[in-house]
């Protein structure tokens, strides 16, 4: 077993309990030079179809530390249970490159909730593939940056009223109390964080020109907390595209990486050109390289070619 995975397993099983009731706190060490590299992919779980294998080469070039999955891990209706062969057929047997044998920090998407959502949270899956870590809400502290993973599906009203699908709401009911506690815990965790970079990961977009567009419930309930606590990036999937949107009223950058498999919807929405920095209606993924001073984000197509590059720096002498 690769050393990184071993260390990951030790950290997960023996880390002291979080002081936040919903945000489990994990740690992941940076490289010896203080840097961190990772890949971000979303909406990918289709048994390897739709060009999902090129990530291995980019992962090797960047010497990645881990992978972030932005949800919709198994199509069309999540897993049937912890023993569902779809887990290995869509994950273990697809992402086989040596560079991808690192921790996969994962959240649930709306398609995951259509199946046995609790199955993806089951520790048994880590016995099947030790890379897998899927929790509803958690933090990954990397010294220079903290990643805050937020379960966004319960925020969306339509999932509670649509008749065409059934959702697994075990663990999130009653909804009002669940969301209130989550927002309270997230706000506390963000406020108390001393990390240089604060990055929030959710499945649904706050801002998007893709098929689903902006998520009004997140704009109302989540975005004010991100603005008030100096979040740098909000990273999501859900729309099957790659995009980078900036803000009029805050430094937050909105980054969509939901093109892990099926894409090319062809129904891009008109969006304010002053904030729309990049949009690609096709398959691909995102990479991120961080140091204490800089974050560089690259969007890649299925051949690994860089479609868009963005970099931001912070004054090392400024207060955190």
Is 203 a known ligand-binding residue?
yes
Is 236 a known ligand-binding residue?
no
Q: Let me know how long the chain is.
A: 320
| Contacts of residue 159, Cβ cutoff 8 Å, sequence gap at least 6 | 110, 113, 153, 165, 167
Cα angle at 226 between 316 and 200, to 5 degrees?
75
Burial 110-126 (b: 16+ CB within 10 A, else e): bbbbbbbbbbbbbeebb
Is 72 a known ligand-binding residue?
yes
Among 28, 111, 212, 300, the active-site one is: 212
Beta bridge partners of 245: 254, 276
Q: Is 221 a residue of the active site? A: no
**Distance between CA atoms of residues 175 and 234, nearest Å:** 23
**Distance between CA atoms of residues 43 and 263, nearest Å:** 9
CB distance 260 to 43 below 8 Å: yes
**Distance between CA atoms of residues 254 and 243, nearest Å:** 8
Half-sphere exposure of 66 (CA within 13 A, CB side): 28
Other CB atoms within a 10 A radius of the CB of residue 225 amount to: 17
Is 238 a known ligand-binding residue?
yes
Is 240 a known ligand-binding residue?
yes
Active site residues: 212
Numbered residues of the known binding site for Fe cation: 43, 72, 75, 110, 203, 238, 240
Residues contributing to the annotated binding site? 43, 72, 75, 110, 203, 238, 240
């Amino acid at each position: 077993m690769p050393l990184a995975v071993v260390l990951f397993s030790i950290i997960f099983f023996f880390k002291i309990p979080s002081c936040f009731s919903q945000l489990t706190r994990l740690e992941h060490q940076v490289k010896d030079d203080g840097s961190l590299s990772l890949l971000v992919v979303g909406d990918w779980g289709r048994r390897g179809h739709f060009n999902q294998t090129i990530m291995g080469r980019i992962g090797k070039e960047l010497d990645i530390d881990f992978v972030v999955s932005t949800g919709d891990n198994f199509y069309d209706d999540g897993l049937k249970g912890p023993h569902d062969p779809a887990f290995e057929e869509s994950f273990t047997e697809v992402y086989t490159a040596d560079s991808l044998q690192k921790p996969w920090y994962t959240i649930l998407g709306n398609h995951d909730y259509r199946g046995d959502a609790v199955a993806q949270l089951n520790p048994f899956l880590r016995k099947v593939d030790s890379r897998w870590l899927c929790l509803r809400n958690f933090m990954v502290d990397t010294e220079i940056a903290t990643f805050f993973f937020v379960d966004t599906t319960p925020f969306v009203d339509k999932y509670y009223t649509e008749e065409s699908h059934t959702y697994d709401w075990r663990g999130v009911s009653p909804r009002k109390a669940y969301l209130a506690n989550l927002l309270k815990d997230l706000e506390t965790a963000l406020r108390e964080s001393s990390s240089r970079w604060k990055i929030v990961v959710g499945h649904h977009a706050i801002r998007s020109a893709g098929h689903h567009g902006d998520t009004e419930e997140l704009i109302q309930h989540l975005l004010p907390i991100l603005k008030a606590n100096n979040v740098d990036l909000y990273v999501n999937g859900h729309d099957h595209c790659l995009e980078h949107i900036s803000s009029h009223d805050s430094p937050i950058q909105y980054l969509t990486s939901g093109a892990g498999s099926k894409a090319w919807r062809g129904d891009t929405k008109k969006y304010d050109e002053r904030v729309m920095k990049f949009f690609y209606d096709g398959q691909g993924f995102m990479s991120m390289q961080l140091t204490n001073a800089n974050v560089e984000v690259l969007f890649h197509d299925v051949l690994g070619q860089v479609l868009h590059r963005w970099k931001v720096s912070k004054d090392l002498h400024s207060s955190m």
